[in-house]
Amino acid sequence: MTQRYRTLRVAPSDEGVLSVVIDAPPLNLIGPELVRDLVGLLGTLESDQVTRVMVLESADPDYFVPHVDLTKVAEYTAEAAKADGPDDASLGMLWHKLSELPVVTIAKIRGRARGAGSELALACDMRFAARENAILGQIEVGAGTTPGAGGVQHLARLLGRGRAMEAILGADDFNGEQAERYGWVNRALPDAELDAFVARLARRIAFFPAEAVRSAKRAINELTLPGADAIRADARRFQQLVRSDAAKGRTAALFAQGLQTRGPLELHLGDRIGAPDTGAPE
């Protein structure tokens, strides 16, 4: 794998495991550069005959991926369109492409994975979180829109109706233990044990016959993966609502308090998005 990336650190191993580290300071926001790199990576992995397992993590211990860059929605959407054309120009369809890769994908979560960052992790085949510091959340309803990149589809399947309602409509943060209990992640492990656990699992899967692993993944996807039309519908809802006056008002209030900067708002966004000074309920 010789492609160069600006926001990803990519390192293959001799055992068929590819390490992908998101490194897009200052916050690992999903913007055009990160989406461009992910489009390139997924395109490479579609035909990669060497990589059996990809492990996705963050270089930032505080932020896995906190959410999209709300100042660059049009720009990152245009980059996402390069994966499958303008008819499928959405993060949801790009994340769906990730889910359908023949490579097994594992998200290793430290720090905050909210909004489309949570949806990126949900698009992976498995998720493992650090018990002490992982935070997951679907904050979109609190900002005046809805999850638009697969969060509704995945969480309804993983959590069940009631808990998905709580997670999405409540727009609050879930720590690693809560996320494990609800089924948002496979397991929450002590931070000191997370790397070794994921590395062992990745090597173990990569050791097994490739066609057996790929066939099993395809079968599970057929039973559990949301269809492309459902993902497209969620993307349309997000795109419509994110341009509404209600969403613009609430995001403006959040920007005034420090959104998209390394400060207390982003650290505690699940709590702050429900505070009265964020804006009147719509």
pLDDT tens digits, 159-170: 999 999 999 999
Measured between alpha carbons, how far is 233 from 93 in angstroms, rounded to an integer? 10
* pLDDT for the residue 55: 98
* pLDDT for the residue 278: 67
pLDDT at 173 over 50: yes
Q: By the 8 A CB rule, do 154 and 135 touch?
A: no
Asked if the peptide bond before residue 26 counts as cis, ω within 30 degrees of 0, the response is yes
Percent of the chain with pLDDT over 70: 96
CA neighbours closer than 13 Å in the CB half-sphere of residue 161: 0
Give the CA dihedral 189, 269, 29, 185, nearest 10 degrees: 30
Answer whether residue 215 is part of any domain: no
More confident residue, 23 or 282: 23
Q: What is the pLDDT of residues 126-142, one digit of tens each?
A: 999 999 999 999 999 99
By annotation, the residues acting in catalysis are 119, 140
* pLDDT for the residue 88: 75
Per-chain mean pLDDT for the chain: 93
pLDDT at 186 over 60: yes
* pLDDT for the residue 276: 74
* pLDDT for the residue 113: 98
Answer whether residue 213 is part of any domain: no
Binning pLDDT at 50, 70 and 90, where does residue 4 land? confident
Binning pLDDT at 50, 70 and 90, where does residue 282 land? very low
Q: In a 3-state reduction of DSSP, which class is residue 83?
A: helix
DSSP state at residue 112:
E
Answer whether residue 2 is part of any domain: no
Answer whether residue 1 is part of any domain: no
Q: What is the pLDDT of residues 43-99, one digit of tens each?
A: 999 988 899 999 999 999 999 999 999 999 889 989 998 887 676 788 999 999 999
DSSP state at residue 136:
E
Q: By the 8 A CB rule, do 171 and 140 touch?
A: yes
Residue 47 token pair: 């035909």
* pLDDT for the residue 81: 87
* pLDDT for the residue 280: 46
Answer whether residue 171 is part of any domain: yes
Q: Which of 115, 142, 125 is nearest to 234 (CA)?
A: 115
Measured between alpha carbons, how far is 39 from 36 in angstroms, rounded to an integer? 5
Give this prediction's pTM: 0.94
Answer whether residue 216 is part of any domain: no
pLDDT at 201 over 90: yes
* Segments forming the whole domain that contains residue 134: 8-193+204-208+222-278
Q: What is the pLDDT of residues 140-156, one digit of tens each?
A: 999 999 999 999 999 99
Q: Which residue has the tokens 């293959």?
A: 12
Tell me how many domains the chain contains: 1
* pLDDT for the residue 279: 59
What CATH number has the domain bearing residue 18? 3.90.226.10
Answer whether residue 27 is part of any domain: yes
Q: Which residue has the tokens 């023949």?
A: 102
Long-range contacts of 157-162 (CB under 8 A, 24+ apart): 157/224, 157/226, 158/122, 158/182, 158/183, 158/184, 159/183, 159/184
Answer whether residue 217 is part of any domain: no
pLDDT at 261 over 90: yes
Average pLDDT of 237-261? 92
